[in-house]
Structure 1
Amino acid sequence: MRQSGDHVRDTPPRGLRQRRRPRRRHRPPHARTAGRVRARAAAPLRAERMGGRAAELVREFHDLTAGTSLAGEEEVVCHNDLSPRNTVYRGEEPQPVAFIDWDMAGPGRRVHDVAHVCWQYAGLGPLIADPADAARRVRLICDAYGLRERGEVVETILWWQDRCRRGIERDAAQGLAYAIRLREQGAVAQVRACHDWVAEHRAGFERALRQIEGVAASAGCPGEGSSIGT
């Protein structure tokens, strides 16, 4: 899916490629995200090393969709579920080359995807021993993307985490089996702990992001609106 002028070609840009996979029962993004939180607790992926390259890929597909009919009245098309497990890697020292699982993609704001990358690739949560190092990794992700306006990054991370937790709780209350299983496995408590950890260290994250806003501005990323969404 590549749009150029008035023509749309069916060849996807590099960052939008998908691999063919067996059909599976759909689960909402908060279910998959909760699973990734548990996986990191069991065996850290050290995905922070790849977060910068992932951010570059996000910027690539965001720029390709900005101002097109695909984005509608929003800034860009967002993936809305970016994480190490939704990333294709290549090379002897594996580096991100593409993303998969585009079923939740839709028009949105740049900061939505950038914040999700920060949460998932930096592994933000109570398992991190050094909050200052985590703030550095978040800053590097924003640098790699070229995000100019960073005042909403931490707020949007917290929004994603709260949305994930509330989604599981809502679906469990409605009797959906996957959500009941996740709740019983402790996913709600784990995501809440990640949210509380980010909230506790919010000032440090925001201070780190403010340190280089002038440098990031030279990348030319368009400014953003003020509404995160619900």
Structure 2
Amino acid sequence: MSESSLPGGFVNAVVRVGDTVRRPASARTKFVADLLRLLEAGGWSGAPRYLGMDEKGREVLSYLDGHVAWEPRQPAAVSSDASLVAVARPVREFHDLTVGTALAGDREVVCHNDLSPKNTVYRLVSGGLRPTAFIDWDLAAPGARIHDVAHVCWRYLGLGPAVADVGEAARRMKLIADSYELSDRQRLVPTVLWWQDRCWRGIESEAAAGDTAMVRLRGAGVVREVQRAYQWVSDHRGVLERALR
């Protein structure tokens, strides 16, 4: 069958073949396969199904039809309050499915670690685009619930200099925490900062080591972009934290 490239992939070459997606295998392939099988066994529909390996040694996943929000400009429904609620609740669901499993080990849950609109499939629900599944589970690993919730706050709210209304961002951050039913809120803003610091330093380190994808990210200005986002969250930390109390 013919292959067609899927848009948005900055690190891996991902193609569609019929009703499947083919991705290069990696050292994480077995863990991700086991996780996707666990989520499928739990009846959770918010992730692709792992279907094995193809003759070229690539992972084979089910193709999830819908709108993936990888472009900078998106329909308003993608960033609506209703969509934020519809993101936070399934994150809680898949976290809960991993509690106490061998995959989580001695950590709270298994985290996706890269939740963002670019890794979300949206479909029409009751007349509006709503998130229905998460893709790109390559970075999934044992972790703390708050890690994914903080990443959701950063990426789905676009926390950074482009935010026009800090108070509105703070309100929507609380909406995410409420929808997830997060109890450990005093660490949410520091965890956003932890992610941002970890992100730009990781790109710099791996680019310096010669990782081609990270060199491209650095060349595209991502390091500076994340550094500015970190400074913005630092500058408005008080407003964000007060809204979470």
Normalized per residue, the structure richer in strand is: 2
1:13 maps to which residue?
43
Contact 1:2 1:13 in 2 (8 A): no
2:155 maps to which residue?
120
Aligned pair partner of 2:97 in 34, 56, 64? 64
TM-score by length of 1: 0.75
Unaligned ranges ≥5, structure 1: 26-35, 211-230
Query: Distance in 2 between the 1:191 and 1:45 partners?
Result: 24
Deviates more, 1:53-62 or 1:100-109: 100-109
Query: Distance in 2 between the 1:170 and 1:2 partners?
Result: 29
Residue-pair matches, total: 194
Give the share of equivalent positions with the same residue, in percent.
Answer: 51
Cα offsets for 1:149-184 (capped at 9, x unmatched): 101100110111111100111122112222222222
2:195 is aligned with what amino acid? W
Query: Distance in 2 between the 1:84 and 1:55 partners?
Result: 12
Contact 1:80 1:116 in 2 (8 A): yes
Q: What RMSD, in angstroms, separates the aligned Cα atoms of the two structures?
A: 3.0
2:8 maps to which residue?
none
Higher relative contact order (Cα pairs below 8 Å, separated by 6+ residues)? 1
TM-score by length of 2: 0.70
Unaligned ranges ≥5, structure 2: 1-32, 59-68
Q: Aligned with 2:102: secondary structure?
A: coil
Aligned pair partner of 2:198 in 159, 163, 175? 163
CA, structure 1 residues 48+136, in 2 after alignment: closer, same or farther (shift >3 Å)?
Answer: farther
2:116 is aligned with what amino acid? S
1:85 is aligned with what amino acid? K
Normalized per residue, the structure richer in helix is: 1
Cα offsets for 1:2-46 (capped at 9, x unmatched): 99xxxx685353354216899999xxxxxxxxxx9x954xx3665
